[in-house]
């Protein structure tokens, strides 16, 4: 039951789905929320894949229109919460100030020029990848779309465990203080179950999943090696920026797999 409530916390925090249910925000429930991060990603990925399938098979819309609807759905469903982190982290990083000053910039509700430019580049690049993927869709493409948020949300939980928080307050510290390394066990179970289920439905899904998993691992190594020097550790904004950055890399991976005829 607590896992269900933890999942509901994730829906309330990280999506725009209205759920009029008050869930206790104690350490036990927050721990279950972190443990169900990949399930949140799985839910989002299934939503995106189902939307694309419906638009492709049940509407007369062009590939450009379908790509746009998917692109905008990802913003609407999440409420742009991770995009906000991307912009704040970009403003802080490109200020080239001290860590203390960067943390202050991320707390500032105003968005600077670097934040605006970075989000334009992020969203336009993502749209390019999505459009070209939609024009060459295969069955495996749908599974790859599901994998993408599943992996990026899992990375968010791993960062909370393995990277120290930049400050003793805020969302990252609040969630991260409730979990430990036992998180890896349940995440591995999720990976095995999801990859096994998708491989059963499409044998080409497993190689694509493994490549995307490797890309996610490389992104994790890069993020872990840099955030301490850049920001002094993890914050909520840094986590949001990490999710957006990893998803961009995974969209690029799916795009390249199409070009290599692996999807």
Q: Which residues contact 205 (CB under 8 A, 6 or more apart)?
A: 140, 143, 144, 195, 198, 199
**What is the pLDDT at residue 171?**
67
**What is the pLDDT at residue 170?**
65
To the nearest 10°, the Cα dihedral for 89, 184, 39, 218?
Answer: 50
Low-confidence spans in the chain with pLDDT less than 70 = 1-2, 170-174, 176-177, 261-263
Report CA-CA distances (Å) from 32 to 45, 70, 169: 20, 29, 20
**What is the pLDDT at residue 23?**
80
Q: Are 205 and 143 in contact (CB under 8 A)?
A: yes
Give tens-digit pLDDT for 25-36. 777 878 888 899
Burial (Cβ within 10 Å: 0-12, 13-18, ≥19) of residue 115 = buried
Q: Are 162 and 176 in contact (CB under 8 A)?
A: no
Q: Minimal CA–CA distance to 33: which of 10, 66, 58, 62?
A: 10
**What is the pLDDT at residue 28?**
80
**What is the pLDDT at residue 251?**
97
What is the rounded CA–CA span in Å between residue 175 and residue 194?
A: 25
234, β-bridge pairs: 165
Give tens-digit pLDDT for 179-223. 777 888 899 899 999 988 887 888 788 889 999 999 999 999 999
């Amino acid at each position: 039951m607590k896992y269900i409530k933890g999942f509901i916390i994730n829906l309330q925090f990280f999506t725009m789905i209205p759920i009029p249910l008050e869930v206790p925000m104690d350490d036990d429930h927050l721990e279950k929320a972190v443990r169900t991060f990949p399930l949140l990603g799985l839910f989002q990925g299934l939503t995106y894949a189902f939307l694309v399938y419906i638009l492709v098979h049940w509407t007369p819309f062009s590939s450009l229109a379908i790509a746009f609807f998917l692109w905008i759905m990802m913003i609407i469903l999440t409420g742009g919460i991770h995009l906000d982190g991307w912009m704040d982290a970009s403003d802080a990083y490109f200020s080239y100030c001290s860590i203390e000053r960067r943390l202050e910039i991320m707390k500032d509700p105003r968005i600077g020029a670097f934040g605006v430019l970075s989000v334009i580049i992020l969203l336009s690049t993502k749209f390019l990848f999505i459009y070209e993927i939609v024009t060459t869709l295969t069955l495996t493409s749908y599974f790859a779309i599901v994998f993408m948020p599943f992996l990026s949300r899992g990375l968010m939980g791993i960062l909370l465990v393995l990277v120290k928080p930049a400050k003793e307050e805020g969302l990252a510290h609040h969630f991260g203080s409730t979990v430990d390394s036992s998180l890896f066990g349940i995440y591995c179970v999720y990976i095995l179950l999801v990859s096994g289920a998708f491989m059963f439905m499409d044998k080409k899904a497993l190689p694509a999943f493994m490549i995307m998993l490797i890309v996610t691992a490389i992104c994790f190594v890069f993020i872990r090696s840099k955030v301490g020097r850049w920001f002094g550790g993890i914050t909520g904004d840094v986590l949001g920026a990490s999710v957006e950055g990893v998803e961009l890399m995974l969209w690029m991976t799916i795009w390249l797999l199409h070009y290599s005829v692996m999807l």
